[in-house]
Structure formats: structure tokens, C-alpha cells
């Protein structure tokens, strides 16, 4: 069984939950779980919260406060029992993950000046004549003064069409860096692990991050950046970069983790990936942004995965 810990601490706790409740869980699995618990206090906290929600759902007694050992039912070697399917356990685990996440985190950009919901696109007209097209699950803050035009991309993706004003630079902050322009058109997206990509369709921009010297990016080029600095300038596929504006999602040899990060902005609820190194598998595809469930079905079929659903809200891709 390939359900090793992946992703965030909550993802890891759910993966261990599924793994340890499988009838074929071994002593080495339990030992590895114990090592995981000891590795960080946050692991124990995530596990306790998950077990608490599980107890509330099926009225299983909660563990004593002094222990974080999972409830594992030992089976006698002298008595054969049919293997229990872990498919319903996986569905319940998805519910647990969504519930614990909902307790902690408000939606990104909840208090931003302008925001969009899941699957929603919207054009924001700014006071200087510039326009911002917000992608789904995206948000911006606007701060215009007499000397500066400043936008913060709080979450998601936005396409900027900037009115030229030589007296007031237009600066977009996103993640760990900034994009400075006078008048141009460009796309900015906050992606997986807070990495930011910048694709320029008209004129040029200056991109800086992590205290590095600004990098010039001209029409037809792109860069990405994170806390480590700005990447080398490379040629951009402008059609693919702007496909979301026509309700298409285009991926070229993209890791599955990144694909699912994008699909979460188009599908209500939660999408989880359970299964070791699955997130590193590569995807090349064009999906209809209005049909994210069809995209998940295509991914599952082509990567030989199982697509599990618990109502319309929860979905998981699983390797069996």
C-alpha cells in the first residue's frame, strides 16, 4: 500500500490515519508512525485534532489526554477475517481534513479590497484607468496615492492592464517580491508553495525579490520568484498563460501537485491527494475550467488512480 505521508502536516496526519486503519498495517508502519509523531510537536497536535473529530463523527471514545497513540484493533493470527476496504475510511479522512482546516483558516483574501469566489472571474476598473482581471479565488488590495500606485495580490491570479503614468509608477506586490511598471500588460499568479510567476504580454516590467537586483522582463517573456530570488528570464507561452481568461486550463509537463493547486480554485470544497510520491507525476493537458470534476476524472483515468468522492464537496485521488 502506497499511502506515505505527503503535503502539509494535516495531509500527513490523514495519510497516517488511513494507513494505520488498514488491516494490512504492519509493525514497521506503526514504528514509522511513532517516528513521525516524535519529529515535531505539530504532528502530535494535528493527530489529536484529527482523532477528536473522528470521535465526534462515529462516537468512538476519544484518547486519553496523555496519549496520542492511534486506536489500532489487533487481530488474532489464529482467526482469519476478511480484509476491510479502506475506501470509506479514506472518505471519512477527507471529511476530517476539511473539518480541521475549516476550524483554523479563513478564506485567503477575505478582507481584501476586491476578491472573487471559487470559479469566478471579475474585472476591476481602477481609478487611474488601469484594469485588473481577477482569476478565481483571487484577491487584491489597492493603495493609490499622489506619488505611487500600489497593488497587493493577496491570493490567486490576476491579469493587469496598466494605464501609463510616468509620474506614478505602478507596483504589484505578490509573495516575496514586487513587479514595477509604468504602463504595460502582464499576468501574475501565486502558485504552489507561494512561488510567484510573472508573464509579460506587452511592453516590459522590472521584477525583484528577496533583496535581489531587479530583473527586466519584456513582452513574450516570463520569470518566477520565491524567497530565494528571481529565476532566469525565459520565453513564455502567452496563449497558455492567458488561457484561464477564456475558461481553459493549460498544463505542459506540470507536476500533479501544481495541477491540483490550480483546480482547487475552480472547484468548491477540497481536493486531496493520498499516496506517497503521486504529486510528482507529470501532466500535459488542456482542461475546461468550468468542468473541474471532468478534469479530475481524466487525471484519474490517465494516471491509473482512483477518484473518491464524499458528497460533491470532497474528492481525493488515491493510488491503490
pLDDT, residue 282, reads 94
What is the pLDDT of the chain when averaged over all its residues?
81
Q: What is the pLDDT of residue 82?
A: 47
In the block, residue with C-alpha cell 473541474: 292
* Per-residue pLDDT tens over the stretch 132-143: 999 999 999 999
Would you call 210 helix, strand, or coil by DSSP?
A: coil
Predicted pLDDT at 268: 83
Average of pLDDT values for 47-58? 62
Residues in the chain: 320
Residues 67-83, mean pLDDT to the nearest whole number? 39
Which residues on adjacent β-strands are paired with residue 209? 177
Average of pLDDT values for 264-289?
Answer: 88
Please state which CATH number belongs to domain 247-318. 3.55.50.30
5: pLDDT strictly greater than 80 = no
Sheet of strand 314-318, all strands in order from the earlier edge strand to the far edge: 270-274, 314-318, 306-310
Please write the tens of the pLDDT for every residue from 297-307. Answer: 999 999 999 88
Task: Calculate mean pLDDT across residues 57-69.
Answer: 37
Return d(Cα 97, Cα 266) in angstroms, integer.
19
Q: Three cell numbers at 289?
A: 475550467
Over 50: is that where the pLDDT of 192 sits?
Answer: yes
CA-angle at 188, arms to 118 and 151, nearest 5°: 90
**For range 56-71, the mean pLDDT:** 38
124/151 Cα distance (integer angstroms) = 12
Query: What are the backbone angles phi and psi of residue 17, rounded to the nearest 5°?
Result: -60, -50
Question: Distance between CA atoms of 88 and 31, rounded to whole angstroms?
Answer: 25
Q: Domain residue spans in the chain? A: 9-74+83-104, 114-241, 247-318
pLDDT of 29:
84
Taking domain 114-241, whether its CATH number is 2.60.120.1440 is answered by yes
Does 262 score more than 60 pLDDT? yes
pLDDT of 70 above 60: no
The model scores a pTM over 0.75: no
Q: What is the pLDDT of residue 60?
A: 34
Q: Tell me what percent of the residues of the chain surpass a pLDDT of 90.
A: 52
Percentage of the chain surpassing pLDDT 70?
76
Distance CA 109, CA 111 (A): 5
Amino acid at each position: 500500500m502506497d499511502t506515505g505521508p505527503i503535503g502539509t502536516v494535516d495531509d500527513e496526519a490523514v495519510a497516517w490515519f488511513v494507513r494505520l486503519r488498514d488491516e494490512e498495517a504492519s509493525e514497521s508502519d506503526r514504528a514509522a508512525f511513532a517516528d513521525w509523531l516524535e519529529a515535531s510537536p505539530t504532528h502530535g497536535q494535528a493527530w489529536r485534532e484529527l482523532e477528536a473529530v473522528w470521535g465526534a463523527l462515529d462516537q468512538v471514545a476519544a484518547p486519553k489526554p496523555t496519549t496520542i497513540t492511534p486506536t489500532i484493533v489487533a487481530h488474532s493470527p489464529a482467526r482469519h477475517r476478511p480484509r476491510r476496504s479502506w475506501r470509506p475510511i479514506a472518505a471519512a479522512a477527507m471529511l476530517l481534513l476539511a473539518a480541521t482546516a475549516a476550524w483554523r483558516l479563513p478564506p485567503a483574501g477575505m478582507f481584501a479590497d476586491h476578491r472573487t469566489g471559487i470559479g469566478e472571474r471579475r474585472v476591476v476598473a481602477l481609478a487611474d484607468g488601469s484594469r485588473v482581471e481577477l482569476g478565481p479565488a483571487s484577491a487584491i488590495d489597492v493603495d493609490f496615492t499622489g506619488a505611487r500606485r500600489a497593488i497587493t495580490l493577496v491570493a490567486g491570479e490576476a491579469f493587469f492592464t496598466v494605464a501609463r503614468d510616468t509620474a506614478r509608477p505602478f507596483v504589484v506586490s505578490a509573495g516575496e517580491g514586487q513587479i514595477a511598471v509604468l504602463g504595460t500588460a502582464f499576468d501574475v499568479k501565486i502558485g504552489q508553495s507561494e512561488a510567484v510567476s510573472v508573464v509579460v504580454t506587452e511592453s516590459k516590467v522590472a521584477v525583484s525579490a528577496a533583496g535581489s537586483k531587479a530583473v527586466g522582463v519584456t513582452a513574450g517573456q516570463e520569470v518566477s520568484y520565491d524567497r530565494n530570488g528571481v529565476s532566469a528570464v525565459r520565453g513564455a507561452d502567452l496563449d497558455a498563460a492567458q488561457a484561464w481568461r477564456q475558461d481553459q486550463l493549460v498544463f505542459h509537463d506540470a507536476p500533479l501537485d501544481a495541477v491540483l493547486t490550480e483546480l482547487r480554485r475552480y472547484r468548491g470544497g477540497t481536493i486531496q491527494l493520498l499516496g506517497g510520491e503521486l504529486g510528482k507525476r507529470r501532466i500535459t493537458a488542456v482542461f475546461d475550467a468550468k468542468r473541474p470534476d471532468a478534469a479530475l476524472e481524466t487525471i484519474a483515468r490517465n494516471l491509473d488512480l482512483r477518484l473518491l468522492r464524499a458528497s460533491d464537496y470532497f474528492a481525493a485521488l488515491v493510488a491503490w
